Chains A and B, each alone.
Chain A
């Protein structure tokens, strides 16, 4: 398999790296401290067409393939130190892919142009107060009557939730059936009667990404709000996760590359016992592991991305990429803090923020334990 970037992909990556360093990084320490979503930077990214990459031109997108989209998001993860913003952007693209794959013609035409342009912010709502890894123990339900569905329930920790204009919401539509066949997916808009969003939740990392509750209280939506078919929810969720577990690890791999670069630079400059600390094997072996994981993660990521590009199923490959890259990043950030010593713990050096941002990567989009379950099952157990 040849995972070499094309000249077009290299140019796109260079453009996004230059853009991110120039436009997105200034003020990141203060934004992290305040924990506020940078709407102005979202709009700059939208103007840069980052949100439009994989969507067809006739639906407002730029028509790039998925491997190119992954390559650009890896570059964004590498160059943009605001990992919360990067996650918000990736979440938007994942919502768009669900609409592209499962929306009917009128839904795609009505929704994708404003999603690609960034005019409307999207969130994807699955997690509930009583169901995380066991996602389909969800209680949010949608009851169908003659002309409407009526939703009741609460979603929590939803990325982009507090700022979202629209939400892709999973709900039980037939409690007599199992999750496979009994859940469905809906598209809701801010302002739908009975739909409210909560305040941003305080959290350890990704502080510029806003997460919060979505509350549905006798929320009435028309039948046309159904995305895909009634009962298709779990299958759509599985499909969405394959794309998500490929696109988000692309951002994480970029972050790993940045952490490695910063650590190497520090290890060459910092002198202890009369020599650069990188000369000590206690340091250099940690760096070697970061580099090894970066290279292996790249292979896992582009293996999954190439399969998705061909519209093939890649549940195993996406879970391998997600598990390996997120765990590698978290360990690399821990090691980077250790190598930086006391400075690594100081906000000014920005390594502690990388660590705080990385920790949740082994939790969201399916914990590492859930990825291992999927991998074991698909390996034949």
Chain B
């Protein structure tokens, strides 16, 4: 699975509980759509750090990095390449 697919599966199962009739797209605005909220971002951060063995902190902890599946995937790629 690609990073995007891993993230999409997590969000679908853990944040949306598969309640949507249409699948998520990579560019869907997760915050504006209310899919990621104040508690959801805690869940997502914990998952991403555990799944990809990363530590996300400081300047990387900005909403823009969690705004879409594509943005989260880019963040992971940048972290892995450091």
Docked pose: A265 CA to B36 CA in angstroms? 51
B57 close to chain A: CB less than 8 A: yes
With A229-B59, A239-B61, A313-B45 in contact, is A181–B39 under 8 Å at CB?
A: no
Stretch of A114-122, A158-166, A191-199, A372-380 at the chain-chain interface: A372-380
A234 close to chain B: CB less than 8 A: yes
Docked pose: A180 CA to B39 CA in angstroms? 10
Docked pose: A315 CA to B81 CA in angstroms? 26
Q: Which of A136, A232, A312, A374 contacts B63 (CB 8 A)?
A: A232
Do A374 and B39 touch across chains, with their CB atoms under 8 A apart? yes
Which residues of B lie under 8 Å from residue A180 when comparing CB positions?
A: 31, 36-38, 41, 63, 66
A221 close to chain B: CB less than 8 A: no
Looking at chain A's contact residues, the main secondary structure is helix
Which residues of A lie under 8 Å from residue B62 when comparing CB positions?
A: 229, 231-232, 235
Do B38 and A238 touch across chains, with their CB atoms under 8 A apart? yes
Do B39 and A235 touch across chains, with their CB atoms under 8 A apart? no
A217 close to chain B: CB less than 8 A: no
A209 close to chain B: CB less than 8 A: no
Which partner residue on chain A sits nearest B46 by CB separation? Answer: A313
Which partner residue on chain B sits nearest A315 by CB separation? Answer: B42
Docked pose: A248 CA to B68 CA in angstroms? 35
Docked pose: A312 CA to B55 CA in angstroms? 6
Do A178 and B34 touch across chains, with their CB atoms under 8 A apart? yes
With A178-B31, A178-B34, A231-B62 in contact, is A378–B57 under 8 Å at CB?
A: no
Q: Which of B34, B38, B46 contacts A136 (CB 8 A)?
A: B38
Do A313 and B49 touch across chains, with their CB atoms under 8 A apart? yes
Which residues of B lie under 8 Å from residue A177 when comparing CB positions?
A: 31-32
Which partner residue on chain B sits nearest A136 by CB separation? Answer: B38
Within 8 A of B (CB), among A314-349: 315-316
Do B31 and A378 touch across chains, with their CB atoms under 8 A apart? no
Docked pose: A229 CA to B60 CA in angstroms? 10
Do B39 and A373 touch across chains, with their CB atoms under 8 A apart? yes
Which residues of A lie under 8 Å from residue B58 when comparing CB positions?
A: 101-102
Looking at chain B's contact residues, the main secondary structure is helix
Digit string of A354-381 for contact with B (CB within 8 Å is 1, else 0)?
A: 0000000000000000000110011010
Docked pose: A236 CA to B41 CA in angstroms? 12
Docked pose: A311 CA to B36 CA in angstroms? 23
Docked pose: A234 CA to B54 CA in angstroms? 21
Digit string of A213-230 for contact with B (CB within 8 Å is 1, else 0)?
A: 000000000000000010
A179 close to chain B: CB less than 8 A: yes
Docked pose: A180 CA to B43 CA in angstroms? 14
Do A311 and B57 touch across chains, with their CB atoms under 8 A apart? yes
B18 close to chain A: CB less than 8 A: no
With A101-B58, A178-B31, A232-B61 in contact, is A377–B39 under 8 Å at CB?
A: yes
CB of B31 to closest CB in A, whole Å:
5
Docked pose: A377 CA to B38 CA in angstroms? 11
CB of B65 to closest CB in A, whole Å:
10
Do B63 and A231 touch across chains, with their CB atoms under 8 A apart? yes
Docked pose: A160 CA to B49 CA in angstroms? 35
Docked pose: A122 CA to B71 CA in angstroms? 35
Listed A/B pairs (22) with beta-carbon separation below 8 Å? A101-B57, A101-B58, A178-B31, A178-B32, A178-B34, A179-B38, A180-B31, A180-B37, A180-B41, A181-B67, A229-B62, A231-B63, A232-B62, A234-B63, A235-B61, A235-B62, A238-B41, A312-B55, A313-B46, A313-B49, A377-B39, A378-B39
Binding site for B on A (CB under 8 A): 101-102, 136, 177-181, 229, 231-232, 234-236, 238-239, 311-313, 315-316, 373-374, 377-378, 380
